[in-house]
Amino acid sequence: MASVEPGFAKPHRPHAAALPVLDDGVIQLGPWPAETADADAEALARLHADPAGMRYWSIEPWTPGDRARAEAYLDDIEAGARDGDLMQFAARLPGSPALVGWVTLYRIERTHRRAEIGYLIDTALWGRGLGRRMVALALDHAFGALALHKIEADVDPRNAASRRMLESLGFQREGLLRQRWRTGGELQDSAMYGLIADEWRG
pLDDT digits (tens, 9 = 90+) for 135-145: 999 999 999 99
| pLDDT at residue 45, rounded to an integer | 97
Could you tell me if 113 and 145 are in contact, meaning their C-beta atoms sit under 8 angstroms apart?
no
One-letter amino acid at 142 equals A
162-176 burial code (b ≥16 CB/10 A, e <16): bbebbeebbbeeeee
Q: In percent, how much of the chain has pLDDT > 90?
A: 89
- Specify the pLDDT at position 31: 98
What does the pLDDT average to over 4-8?
A: 42
| pTM higher than 0.85 | yes
